[in-house]
Amino acid sequence: MSSSFLHVQRRVPLCFSRDIHSRGAHATQLRVYVQPKITNSTTRRWMGFQKGPCAHQSQIIQKPRCDLSRHSKTANSRNLNLRPLSSSLISSARSSLSNHLHFAQMSNTAPSGDADKYRLPTNVRPTHYDVTIKTDLEELTFQGLVKVSLDVKADTPKIVLNTSELDLGKATIYSDALKAEQVATFSSFDKAQERTTYQLNDVLPAGSKAELKIAFSGKLTGNMLGYYKSSWEHEGKTKNYALTQFEPTAARRAFPCWDEPLLKATFAITLISRADTVSLSNMPAISEEVIEPGVNTPADIADIIATTRNEKWKITKYETTPPMSSYIVAFANGHFEFLEKSVVMPLSGKTVPLRIYTTSDVIHQAQFALDVKAAVLPLYEKVFDVEYPLPKLDTLVASDFDAGAMENWGLITGRTSAFLLDPKRADQQAKKRVASVQSHEVAHMWFGNITTMEWWNYLYLNEGFATLMGEVIIPDKVFPEWRVTSEFITEHLNSALALDAKLSSHPIEVDCPDANHINQIFDALSYSKAASVLRMLSNYVGEEKFLKGVSLYLKKKLFANSVTHDLWEGISTATGVNITQLMENWITKIGYPVLTVTEDSKGIHIRQDRFLETGPADPKDNETIWNIPLSLLSTKDGKSSVDTSAILQERQTAIALDTTKPFKLNADTTGVYRVLYTPERLAQIAAEAAKEDSVFSLNDRMGLAQDSFALSKAGLATLSSSLTLVDLWKNEKEYLVWQVIGNGVGELLSIWWEHPEVVDKLNAFRRTLFVPLVEKLGYEYAEKESRDTSLLRTLAVEQAVGAGDEGVIKELQSRFRHYNETGDDSKIPADLLRPVFFAAVKYGGRAEYDAMIRIHDKPKTPSEKMAAIRGMGATQDPALLEETTKFITNKARDQDVIYFFGFMGANFKARRLLTKYLQEEYDVVSDVVILWLRMQSDCYL
């Protein structure tokens, strides 16, 4: 799943973070594990934020374990990235919320026997579901019947399965051994574990088969979980449609089921809906007929169909799915339109139809996402050497969606900002986001859907792979000019390192027996760190062998479940390397190392220690020894080479090396660690990297800069060493390096945000860096200019206006004034939409603020709406900031609340007010509070 929370940072260019975070899929800092005193969150407004995506941490707690509720998944399949506030603000927020939250200590292993307590009984196992759902979009209700085929594994006097928020009707069970149907009597409901128990009069004998029938009904609410309603405006009226979001444990909200990933079954879906609507599910429809009362009405759904009299309804039946987990079942009903195309698959040769559905007002913005899906789907089949098994692949774009996107098999779903863009006014970041999310979700058709983790402990097998394959390896084949392998360093690697530098981090593979706490692990560690570790492994063994091993893994686990060892076995077979031994600590241990490099006449000495953002680790926190691929770049006779075979497997070692020639560890920044050089050596490497013909690559420069700022902040290096590096690179031409520099300086601003005299000096320094770039590049975007040039211009303008440059502010104000007065947006390039709106409101007043509200209410594109939210959060007027908090409470869409929090948090003038608002409105916004405290953003304006 792509967690939209993991991508917020990409939209927040003003850093209010104290901790280094780049705009990665999960920029999760100042991680706060909290649990509200109110346990029934269904009554709260922002119920949708109940994830731990994904995705997107001061030392409030130690060594987290998945043992309490973090309400919000951050992502891609699925994908928001927020960086943290300063520790002083978090401390204030934490104190002010003390009456509502408790901060719990976590451990890394579950107590003995925990898993059995939290898992469903194994006396019966579902093999097939027939699910019939009637959707009433006028009454906002649904009604259904589920028939479940069961294998009885042990003598069974009772049936236990998952349900939540459903009104359960009559339940019966037929046993082939007993040759009789009996009533399944409701016995109890476990609210905490969301389990219903039915008692049976006659015991089902072991080895037999049975069929359970349960009638049920429910309400279509706006909580973005289970089967829920979304709304849109059409010809001045609000219209509703319904769709599902089941991951991780919300299928039970739509129909009674065994809602655990290991309990795979086949599903045959039947949808009953009004005749003028469109119904969708995982598989293609095999029939669709208008209902005629009394004609060919199956007896077991007669009661459901009886309520359709005097109206025109239809019944749509779908093909049976392959074996699959309940969390990727999907269906939807509404007034949708679609675009379509098809692809011929390279292995099977079959033609697979592709569609993208959404409402009529935005369907014209869906073509690019459809094109991306068509480009990547055949590539996955070819690279994995495993056929795509379904006969179609649809995407449904929703106005209200909790995560960024969701990889339902055959029916991907997601929010508008994840899939839509205006083909005539698409900014570079929006285009990259749509491509990444769509590709990420398609990757899940293999990682997660064909082969599924056995339990949520192994979530990274889904999300880490979907991140690496879906956002790097496959997109690099489709969009080579985007240099996604380099962008990975800021979008994922650095965000993972920032989160994992905290004592409150957790291992990639973390024991999480209680399903109520699964959302905790949808974070930058399951997505970005997992992807980074897999990327490091791929670089070590070679990408070709790595992908061969992945293919072997998938083939061995077709339509089955897997654990970490299964993956290591596949890659070991392909490489001849003991992958389990090599990778164990990277997956099961918290943190990552910093390599300290010193020199003598014979070469270099390398020592590994755990890296913490607070400085040197205490011995008790520094026990892990990682197997570290050193990727040592050295030079001889003017030529460079990289030794990818060298591994540090002990605390320290010495390597013979000619240190009079350029050298560097972690060549191309493929390793999941930081490197600390002496100030003199760092200056030498930086000087060499600044040369046109340097032996050091773009990726090397990015990694050097990120490490330098992180090490300075942790007190392991001097700040002057980072600033020396920046000074040496003033003539840098690459956008990605400038982005790292901007991030680093922005984080310094956030540390000192309540010290205006320091902020002023840092902003003056920022102006010296970025205003010359604005003067060089200007404000206009040539049609055929490179993507990097466009991104560098946008970055320079954002940084300059954030630093308060008068010339840039006046230029952006002028462009907004023209737009506001005439409605003509031609003077605002799509890539400058956000900084223009930001400048207009921050340096404007009531008129500009009101304009943001108008744009927010009727945006032309998802990007324009996001820019308006950002603008509202930028105002310096206390009265307008108060209005923004009221807007959040009364008007903002649930899915957008986190954006308001992020952008207001980026505004130094809003931070104290926002803390007060959170304290006073906690009972209303508690779910979002939890997410916001976890997912603070990296922003720089």
Phi, psi of 28, deg, nearest 5: -110, 100
Residue 617 CA to residue 939 CA, distance in Å, equals: 28
Opening angle at CA 113, ends 111 and 118, nearest 5: 100
AA identity, residue 666? N
Residue 885 CA to residue 922 CA, distance in Å, equals: 12
Q: Residue 11: in which H helix or E strand, if any?
A: none
Residue 535 CA to residue 491 CA, distance in Å, equals: 14
Is the distance from CB of 278 to CB of 356 less than 8 angstroms? no
Residue 370 CA to residue 619 CA, distance in Å, equals: 52
CA dihedral of residues 284, 286, 292, 297 (deg, nearest 10): -110
AA identity, residue 425? R
DSSP designation for 83: P
Which residues does residue 20 pair with via DSSP β-bridges, in sequence order? Answer: none
Residue 741 CA to residue 724 CA, distance in Å, equals: 12
Residue 50 CA to residue 927 CA, distance in Å, equals: 7
* Three-class SS of 778-842: CCCCCCCCCHHHHHHHHHHHHHHHHCCCHHHHHHHHHHHHHHHHHCCCCCCCHHHHHHHHHHHHH
Is the distance from CB of 89 to CB of 22 less than 8 angstroms? no
Phi, psi of 269, deg, nearest 5: -100, 135
CA dihedral of residues 172, 175, 181, 182 (deg, nearest 10): -60
Q: Give the strand pairing for 124-136 and 266-274.
A: parallel
**Set 247, 441, 463, 613: catalytic member:** 441
Sequence-ordered list of residues with C-beta below 8 angstroms from that of 841, at least 6 positions apart, any chain: 848, 849, 852, 871, 872, 874, 875
Residue 810 CA to residue 839 CA, distance in Å, equals: 9
Q: Note if 747 is an active site residue.
A: no
CA dihedral of residues 196, 200, 205, 206 (deg, nearest 10): 10
C-alpha of 706 from chain center: 22
Looking up tokens 């792979």, which residue turns up? 465
Q: Is 213 helix (H, G, I), strand (E, B) or coil?
A: strand
Helix boundaries (H) for 13-141? 87-96, 114-118
Sequence-ordered list of residues with C-beta below 8 angstroms from that of 138, at least 6 positions apart, any chain: none
Region at 668 (left for phi over 0; alpha for psi -120 to 50; beta for the rest) = left
Residue 9 CA to residue 22 CA, distance in Å, equals: 8
Is the distance from CB of 381 to CB of 387 less than 8 angstroms? yes
Is the distance from CB of 358 to CB of 396 less than 8 angstroms? yes
**Active-site residue set:** 441
